A and B are shown apart, each in its own frame.
Chain A
């Protein structure tokens, strides 16, 4: 099908864009990469009166590191993040998740901000930002708000952003030393939205004991699910397969994923348990390898 009629606006600056949103927020939609919005327009599932194209707004794209944070502008293309050496070096979890988003043709156009604004519970980026305790920076003509993922992701395809607010950037902490990461997912076909995905990090001390860990899952709830309590049991423990399997069991104890045509509730829970244990194990292996490298560098 073809999109319904809309009024097309091309702001050149952030202020101009925010001005339009202040006036038309409720009846306007912003267009980023269009990889989720244009299908909805083509199906006429959304019919905005105004379509506000962000692609020519100056200053919304870019990747930088400052005060221990990696900051990515909302209009940065997914493919640019995937191929960034800075991201690979400072935030390997993000680098590992990127190529698992759709296909290269989608990532060439799709943006970081678009994915985080669309808030699909099966999407990789929301889980990565949640696992890393990132921050989402919203801007409107009224000012700026910085939200944590648990306050930003509200429900299925719903965020706490008001109709006049734009997501302008996302910040994640730079990955600390002796930390390993992993992003694992299972999907029916390569490039499909995953049935379940798991983002994991594990930090070890010089003696190889776990000092911190994080785990966030896609596809098992209306928003990314962060398994804080389950992971806490790892702290102070040696990273062993038994410890990771125990975390996996705890993760699913509190979950009631919805089943659908692609996977039953039981199967999703099973994937969540197995992938959690595997992702933690892989992250721990990498943390140990990183700790070894650090030791031999010092020698």
Chain B
């Protein structure tokens, strides 16, 4: 086949689309669904800018085909904020200057969202290990790590009764 109709859930919304089979998941999100928050830096798996969450796991959307996603659940950076209200991780990035140009930010946010779900109270080393597959050309990683640790603490605080 050279085209396939896929039914996917994207940020909780169900969509059905017919896609050319060589279209990557990243291009599908950006071009077909207008979700341009997922960025493409290298298109060969190295930079992490295109990181999204598929069935709960952080993956490179430049290395998957949309045609493979039938029946799967995808989360992108657009799914984090609730209207105008940023989620705690996004809020912490803003508070701690975890971004400058912002190109890499969606990838960092999705990688760290996954980390914080699996490991709600990570150490500095665990955060650094988790983001080792995401490259940032302007901010330096210190502020990003601080933002992630702060978000973890604020989540822990808000979870307490």
A residues adjacent to B (C-beta < 8 A): 1-9, 34-35, 38-39, 41-43, 51, 53, 55, 79, 102-106, 108-109, 189-191
- Which B-chain residue is minimally distant from A40 (CB atoms)? B44
**CB distance B2 to A105 under 8 Å?**
no
Residues of B within 8 A of A (CB): 1-2, 4, 21-22, 24, 27, 43-45, 48, 51, 57-60, 62-65, 67-68, 111, 129-130, 132-133
Find out whether the CB atom of B44 lies under 8 angstroms from the CB atom of A42. yes
B-side contacts of A5, CB under 8 Å: 2, 22
- Chain A residue at minimal CB-CB distance from B111: A105
Q: How far is the CA of A42 from the CA of B47 in the complex (A)?
A: 15
CA of A110 to CA of B44 in the docked complex: distance in angstroms? 14
| Cβ contact within 8 Å between A35 and B63 | yes
Q: Beyond A4-B22, A105-B51, A109-B63, is A190–B58 a contact (Cβ under 8 Å)?
A: no
A-B contact count (CB 8 A): 81
Q: Label chain A's interface by main secondary structure.
A: loop
8 A-B contacts (beta carbon < 8 Å): A2-B22, A6-B21, A34-B64, A35-B60, A38-B64, A38-B65, A105-B59, A190-B132
Find out whether the CB atom of B45 lies under 8 angstroms from the CB atom of A106.
yes
B1 with A7: CB separation less than 8 A: yes
Q: Are A34 and B63 in contact (CB under 8 A)?
A: yes
Ranked 7 nearest A-B pairs via Cβ: A103-B133, A39-B44, A8-B21, A108-B57, A38-B63, A190-B132, A3-B22
Q: Which residues of A contact B21 (CB under 8 A)?
A: 6, 8, 51
Give the nearest-CB partner of B46 in chain A: A39
B133 lies within 8 A of A102 (CB): yes
- The interface residues of chain A lying within 8 Å CB-to-CB of B63 are 34-35, 38-39, 109
A34 to B66 alpha-carbon distance, docked (Å): 13
Shortest distance from the beta carbon of B139 to any chain A beta carbon, whole Å: 17
Residues of A within 8 A of B111 (CB): 104-105
Contacts of B2 in A (CB 8 A): 5, 7-8
Name B129's closest neighbour in chain A (CB-CB): A190
Do residues A191 and B60 form an inter-chain contact, with CB atoms below 8 A?
no
Contact of B59 among A8, A55, A109 (CB under 8 A): A109
* B65: A residues at CB distance < 8 A: 8, 34, 38
* B44→A43 contact, CB < 8 A: yes
Q: Which residues of A contact B62 (CB under 8 A)?
A: 38, 42
Q: Please tell me which one of the listed residues B24, B67, B68, B130 contacts residue A104 in the complex, with CB atoms under 8 A apart.
A: B130
Beyond A8-B4, A105-B58, list 10 extra A-B contacts (CB 8 Å): A8-B22, A38-B64, A42-B43, A53-B68, A102-B133, A108-B57, A109-B57, A109-B60, A190-B129, A191-B133
A5–B23 alpha-carbon span in the complex (Å): 10
With beta carbons under 8 angstroms apart, the residue of B1, B22, B59, B68 that contacts A108 is B59
Q: Is the CB of A6 within 8 A of B22?
A: yes
Q: CA of A34 to CA of B62 in the docked complex: distance in angstroms?
A: 10
Minimum CB–CB distance from A38 to chain B (whole Å) comes to 4
Determine the distance from Cα of A204 to Cα of B129 in the docked complex, in whole angstroms: 34
Residues of chain B within 8 A of A103, CB atoms compared: 48, 132-133
Question: Contact partner of B60 among A105, A189, A190, CB < 8 A?
Answer: A105
Contact residue among B1, B27, B60, B130 (Cβ-Cβ distance under 8 Å from A106): B60
B residues less than 8 Å from A189 (CB atoms): 132
What residue in chain A is nearest B52 (Cβ atoms)? A105
Instruction: Say whether, besides A6-B21, A7-B2, A55 and B68 are in contact (CB < 8 Å).
Output: yes
Q: Is the CB of B22 within 8 A of A104?
A: no
Residues in A neighbouring B45, C-beta threshold 8 A: 35, 38-39, 106
